[in-house]
């Protein structure tokens, strides 16, 4: 399914220079903007001082053509390891799929020092800090969008975005200045956002795969389309 949408004036892609955006794309380690998440982060630091327990930065080079947007760090995944989708089940399926379609190289071993690198691909999250029960509040999603906007602004070659789940879909649409009604979420849907193609997928969480809401083949089919669009 392909829908056509237009980017409104003043969108993220039309914002300030990338150098300024680069500074704004990385939240402070003690970012205080979401008090509930800051408290949760502090409690995790006290309980597990060896864990990362900070806003998780994007993974991959800013000159990539593909951006993948997830929901938020998992408590024992990215929040523990400091690399998006690293250390929990969602990463097993995501990185296996990226390796299969040439968007990563190396071996994924669920550790940030496993040597895995992304190829023409970058991964970020709609919300940078781990939320309780994996559920950020609407206000938290809204306030953290500034970092997603800045991330998009620092990707001059961006051609494709894969949003993992409805929350990532809606926050990324807002970051791009698109109206939600013009691009409804549906697994496998493809929307056109100016020069950028916007792909929807169900999130590759353990829950979604255990319940067969998302099968590995359904997930692969999204990246097959992205690979066909971007070429080898
Ligand atoms: S979720 Fe984003 S805005 Fe909220 S405290 Fe973390 S980095 Fe700051």
Q: Please identify, by atom number, the ligand 1 atom nearest to the C-alpha of residue 55.
A: 7
Nearest to 79 by CA among 135, 139, 123, 131: 131
Q: How many CB atoms lie within 10 A of CB 212?
A: 8
Question: What pLDDT tens digit does each residue of the chain (232 aa) get?
Answer: 444 343 333 334 444 555 676 668 889 999 999 999 999 999 999 999 999 999 999 999 999 999 999 999 999 999 999 999 999 999 999 999 999 999 999 999 999 999 999 999 999 999 999 999 999 999 999 999 999 999 999 999 999 999 999 999 999 999 998 888 889 999 999 999 888 999 999 999 999 999 999 999 999 999 999 999 999 7
Positive or negative torsion for Cα 67, 229, 196, 3: negative
- Which residues are near ligand 1 (CB < 6 Å)? 27, 31, 33-34, 37-38, 55, 127-129, 140, 143-144, 147
Could you give the angle at the alpha carbon of 139 between the alpha carbons of 82 and 166, nearest 5°? 70
Best mutation site among 45, 74, 78, 143 for ligand 1 pocket (most ligand atoms within 8 Å of CB): 143
Measured distance CA(81)–CA(136) in Å, rounded: 20
User: pTM score > 0.95 for this model?
Assistant: no
Q: Ligand 1: distance of its center to the CA of 218 in Å? A: 31
In whole angstroms, give the CA distance from residue 111 to residue 139: 31
Nearest CA to ligand 1 atom 4: 34
Nearest-10 crossing angle of helices 216-230, 89-100: 40
């Amino acid at each position: 399914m392909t829908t056509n949408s237009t980017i409104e004036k003043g969108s993220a892609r039309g914002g300030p220079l990338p150098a300024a955006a680069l500074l704004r794309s990385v939240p402070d380690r003690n970012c205080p903007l979401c008090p509930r998440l800051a408290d949760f982060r502090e409690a995790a630091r006290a309980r597990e001082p060896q864990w990362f327990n900070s806003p998780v930065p994007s993974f991959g080079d800013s000159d990539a053509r593909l951006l993948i947007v997830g929901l938020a760090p998992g408590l024992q995944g990215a929040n523990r390891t400091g690399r998006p989708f690293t250390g929990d089940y969602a990463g097993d399926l995501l990185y296996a799929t990226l390796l299969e379609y040439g968007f990563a190289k190396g071996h994924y071993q669920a550790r940030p020092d496993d040597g895995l690198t992304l190829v023409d691909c970058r991964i970020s999250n709609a919300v940078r800090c781990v939320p309780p029960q994996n559920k950020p509040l609407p206000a938290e999603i809204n306030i953290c969008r500034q970092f997603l906007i800045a991330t998009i602004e620092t990707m001059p070659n961006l051609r494709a975005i894969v949003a993992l789940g409805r929350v990532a879909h809606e926050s990324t649409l807002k970051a791009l200045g698109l109206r939600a009604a013009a691009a409804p979420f549906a697994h496998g849907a493809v929307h056109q956002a100016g020069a950028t193609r916007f792909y929807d997928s169900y999130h590759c969480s353990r829950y979604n795969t255990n319940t067969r809401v998302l099968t590995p083949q359904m997930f692969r089919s999204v990246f097959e389309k992205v690979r066909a669009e971007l070429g080898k």
